[in-house]
Structure 1
Amino acid sequence: MLKKLAKSKLVTFAAISSLVIGGAATTTASTADAKGHGKHHSEVKNVIFMVGDGMGPAYTTMLRYMNDDPSTKEMESTAFDPYQVGMQRTYSWDPYFDGGEGDVKENIADSAATATSMASGIKTYNGAIGVDLDQEETKTVLEEAKAQGKATGLVSTSQINHATPAAFGAHDVSRNNYNDIADDYYDEMVDGKHKVDVMLGGGTSYFERDDRNLVEAFKQDGYDYATTKEEMLASDNEQLLGLFAPKGMDKAIDRSEESPSLSEMTTTALDKLRDDKDGFFLMVEGSQIDWAGHDNDVVAAMSEMRDFEEAFKEAIEFAKKDKNTIVVTTADHSTGGMSIGRDGDYIFNPEVVDAAERTPDYMAAEIADGEAVEDVLNSYSGLELTEEEIQSVKDAAQPVDGEINTTEVDNAIEHIYDIRSGTGWTTSGHTGVDVNIYAYGPQRMEFSGSIENSSTGQKLFELVNSDRKGKGHDHGKGKGHDKGHGHGHGHDKH
């Protein structure tokens, strides 16, 4: 919602593709290989776009170590490995609005800028949700899909109005305007219809507010509403709002049986979208790979990677059966500067990470709530700890002014797993490395080579229009919805 703008115009892929800052790398289109990945010119009816937030190359490589059977000579592959086709460049373009020409504020991206690049086919500033450098709205591929009559869905383990899903279904000058972004999901229409048919993730705090109850509004408009896995699975409605936490959902390893996994949410979304005669567009995000990276928590990171891998398997299985579905999977950036190996030692011990039964966050919260350090570590760490390691956690748990600093306890437990496993970190923020692209289905080789994230967005636009069979298509000049209010620049760093 854009209060700052005197006028609100929809900047479209067709209008901006020639102006993309940095330029899109040329990719090589080819026919599919003999393994059944689909022909280059095959019709695409359905698009599944999956984002492992923060999932840099070290994360997928570490997952391979985690999947390894040490009794075999070669390391076992991940589910992603057979489908890698290219690499994606991740930088944002974040100039000072009040600085000199070419004065760049940040060129390592946040999730808002990268998601907007992938959703709208442009480069933009950190914090931007579906807006360009002039803070004017850009049409998203989800909006284009809805305009073509397709069903649409957003699935996320964060709150569904967090940066990545928001950039596909909303518009705001700042990712931090969570309430307004949630409002956009309801208020913004495409051809008189709500933009997103299936929304699954966290976020009750933003959808059930004192000033506005969006849950009731969606229900009145015919949506089913679910707050548990059981309710989600029981829904037989094509439109579903599922909110399973006040904000972000629990990490996969900490999740209760009442909450769905990412793969279960993905399967539910596919079941609801698959029967649309015009096809569908579904965005699925493994959100908390990134959150684990910010926390430098290898246990949480691998828990979330496995959750995302299972969802990826579901998407690939669907596409193999359907034949007219493409699955494109990538990351928005890498988080934490994670390394496999540390301190000059040439060893990584995946069994240390695998031993944990809960995240360090979970254990730290239990200790802060008054549980004894030894009891918590014995119950959840999965490790035979030394007295020195136990004492390091006890020291961190010493109250200051009557309160235990949960972050310090969390850090102490994380450090044990880092040292024992051989995991290194360089930052609590993002890094600027290129990230992998995986694809399966018709036209998958459109994503080969080294391409810009904005080029990924442009190619997604082409895919959602690829089944129009000569009708011609306009990427949507003018408004796709009514707007007219918003907020100032500024953003957090996730």
Structure 2
Amino acid sequence: MLKKISVCSLVGLTLAQGCAQLDNAGHAAQNLSSQQQPRNIIMVVADGMGPAYTTAYRNFADNPETPDIEDVVFDHMLTGNASTHPAPVSGYVTDSAAAATALATGIKSYNGAIGVDANKQPVESVLQRAKQLGLRTGVAVTSQINHATPASYLAHNESRKNYNAIADSFFDDRINDGFVADVMLGGGTSYFARDDRDLTALFADNGYQYVDDYDQLATLPAGSDVLGLFAPVGLPAALDDNNPHRLSFLTKNAIKHLEDPEGFFLLVEASQVDWAGHANDIGSAMAEMDDLAVTMEYLQNYVETHPDTLVVLTADHSTGGLTIGADGIYEWHPEYLRNMKASVSSIAVNMVSEASPAAYAEAQLGFTFEDDDSALVDSIAALPDFEARETALKAFLDKKTNTGWTTGGHTGVDVEVFAFGAGADAFAGQLDNTDIAKQFFRFLNNR
């Protein structure tokens, strides 16, 4: 592992000045900070990714054949932290809607708010401002595209639960006689192809390419306006999708269609880190983090060839109260997670139809069972209720890995902020989540 050694004086220089660094071979390491004005802005939200998730992922990705714990992509782009609390009416712990509204608009709001302030009045998002200024705009997410985070950048609604109304607004709300987003990739056919209104047909009639599988998306000519919906609601979990790195695939294709001389604004969301946290599912959490890591590696390479691009990554909040180490035992064992071939949910569904449930679960989980494990898993398979089987399998993995959880909901801790590319220096230090949107507005207004 290459250790980074700062050659900046610790006195008189700040993080915002972007210290030059050398690796242990004496080569200049890439300086990911810049004072430049960005032409393109890519906002990445890892929903639910509190600090424990990035630490867990570093250990999960570690090569056990070496004495060191290797760095992961996140380690080279960390710039600071952000507070996440919503408007006072909702206390100290945010939901995804209020947090996304803060990240998108720079305005604190109540839990459940989609692009509206605490008085339920619409507030402009940075994506909407970008569209107004003539940039191409898009979203690429692993949830449904009208879920809380993307919706807060694209729409205004008093409740995140109004999924059909939010979907309708993607078509009905216009900026400069155009739709708010030029590219929309994720899940959500249940909300866009309804009996009462087929939004997919309406977008197709207005010049959009509508696709519903990954192969179709890959064949579209660059620069297309695209509505791509690849699941009825959210996409399959990373462990169950035919493309385990579907977020990086969607991100690459979104950029392919957004690149423009005027620039673009893209929202990317690793939506299902949060879903794994709510489910207290450590296997899925690490698979979703791996999908995010591959996406960030792609974006890092993109910025190297497009240095006028800014990438900011943060979380909206932390979910699940993940702890790596539990029950007073100073151990964590990610080796039980590294070779999983399916999610715990999928295993819980399918194991009951197998002649040998324990052998099937052993193959899908990807590690060799110890003596008592097979009998335990066979007893889990005998449970008549799917949810009971799923819960018991997650407890089995938690015991093996020594993973702990404090809640099935959100926690109020600060989250990490990562940034690189043009203008990244503006995101150093301790921030509030609203500061990210406020800085984006400054960049957009200075164009």
Normalising by structure 2, we get a TM-score of 0.91
- Counterpart of 1:250? 236
Relative to structure 1, the CA distance from residue 297 to residue 315 in structure 2 (aligned partners, 3 Å threshold; closer, same or farther) is same
2:433 is the alignment partner of 1:447: no
For the Cα contact (< 8 Å) 1:51–1:330, is it kept in 2?
A: yes
For the Cα contact (< 8 Å) 2:245–2:291, is it kept in 1?
A: no
Relative to structure 1, the CA distance from residue 77 to residue 405 in structure 2 (aligned partners, 3 Å threshold; closer, same or farther) is same
Shift of 1:253: 1.5
- Counterpart of 2:159? 174
Shift of 1:395: 3.9
For the Cα contact (< 8 Å) 1:228–1:260, is it kept in 2?
A: no
Query: Unpaired segments of 5 or more residues in structure 2?
Result: 1-13, 21-29
Distance in structure 2 (CA, Å) of the matches to 1:138 and 1:360: 40
For the Cα contact (< 8 Å) 2:115–2:152, is it kept in 1?
A: yes
Task: Indicate the SS of the match to 1:354.
Answer: coil
Distance in structure 2 (CA, Å) of the matches to 1:347 and 1:387: 21
- Counterpart of 2:347? 363
* Correspondences of 1:319-468 after superposition (within 5 Å): 319-367=303-351, 373-386=357-370, 388-398=372-382, 404-466=384-446, 468=447
- Counterpart of 1:37? 32
Shift of 1:319: 1.3
For the Cα contact (< 8 Å) 2:358–2:377, is it kept in 1?
A: no
- Counterpart of 2:219? 234
Shift of 1:397: 4.2
Shift of 1:445: 1.6
Task: Indicate the SS of the match to 2:299.
Answer: helix
How far does the alpha carbon of each residue in 1:34-75 deviate from its partner, in whole angstroms, 9 at most, with x for none? 3433531x1210000001111111100011001212233321
2:338 aligned partner, one-letter code: D
Shift of 1:371: 6.6
Runs of 4+ in 1 over 6 A off after TM superposition: none
How far does the alpha carbon of each residue in 1:164-194 deviate from its partner, in whole angstroms, 9 at most, with x for none? 1110001110001111111111111101100
Shift of 1:396: 4.1
Match of 2:70 among 76, 94, 107: 76
Distance in structure 1 (CA, Å) of the matches to 2:225 and 2:268: 16
1:87 aligned partner, one-letter code: N
How far does the alpha carbon of each residue in 1:407-458 deviate from its partner, in whole angstroms, 9 at most, with x for none? 1111111111111112111100011111110000122121111111111111
Distance in structure 2 (CA, Å) of the matches to 1:141 and 1:189: 15
Moved more, 314-323 or 159-168: 314-323
How far does the alpha carbon of each residue in 1:200-256 deviate from its partner, in whole angstroms, 9 at most, with x for none? 000000000000000000000111111111100011152111111000101111112
Moved more, 65-74 or 278-287: 65-74
2:80 is the alignment partner of 1:132: no
Moved more, 221-230 or 209-218: 221-230
Relative to structure 1, the CA distance from residue 202 to residue 391 in structure 2 (aligned partners, 3 Å threshold; closer, same or farther) is same
For the Cα contact (< 8 Å) 1:155–1:283, is it kept in 2?
A: yes
Match of 2:93 among 85, 97, 108: 108
2:277 is the alignment partner of 1:293: yes
2:87 is the alignment partner of 1:93: yes
* Correspondences of 1:151-230 after superposition (within 5 Å): 151-230=136-215
Shift of 1:406: 1.1
1:253 aligned partner, one-letter code: L
Distance in structure 2 (CA, Å) of the matches to 1:85 and 1:133: 30
Shift of 1:297: 0.5
- Counterpart of 1:53? 47
Shift of 1:94: 5.1
Task: Indicate the SS of the match to 1:30.
Answer: helix
Task: Indicate the SS of the match to 2:338.
Answer: helix
2:368 aligned partner, one-letter code: E
2:236 aligned partner, one-letter code: D
Task: Indicate the SS of the match to 1:158.
Answer: strand
Task: Indicate the SS of the match to 2:43.
Answer: strand
1:163 aligned partner, one-letter code: A
Distance in structure 1 (CA, Å) of the matches to 2:378 and 2:84: 41
1:346 aligned partner, one-letter code: Y
Distance in structure 1 (CA, Å) of the matches to 2:133 and 2:156: 20
Query: Unpaired segments of 5 or more residues in structure 1?
Result: 1-27, 96-104, 469-494
Distance in structure 1 (CA, Å) of the matches to 2:264 and 2:318: 28
2:235 aligned partner, one-letter code: M
Task: Indicate the SS of the match to 1:254.
Answer: coil
For the Cα contact (< 8 Å) 1:202–1:245, is it kept in 2?
A: yes
Q: CA RMSD in A?
A: 1.8
For the Cα contact (< 8 Å) 2:183–2:227, is it kept in 1?
A: yes
- Counterpart of 1:16? none
Shift of 1:386: 4.1
1:192 aligned partner, one-letter code: D
Higher RCO (C-alpha 8 Å, min separation 6): 1
Relative to structure 1, the CA distance from residue 188 to residue 371 in structure 2 (aligned partners, 3 Å threshold; closer, same or farther) is farther
Task: Indicate the SS of the match to 2:239.
Answer: helix
For the Cα contact (< 8 Å) 2:104–2:437, is it kept in 1?
A: yes
1:350 aligned partner, one-letter code: P
2:31 aligned partner, one-letter code: G
Distance in structure 2 (CA, Å) of the matches to 1:70 and 1:29: 32
Distance in structure 1 (CA, Å) of the matches to 2:329 and 2:274: 26
For the Cα contact (< 8 Å) 1:397–1:405, is it kept in 2?
A: no
Aligned pair count reads 424
Identical counterparts, % of pairs = 40
Distance in structure 2 (CA, Å) of the matches to 1:204 and 1:330: 27
2:369 aligned partner, one-letter code: L
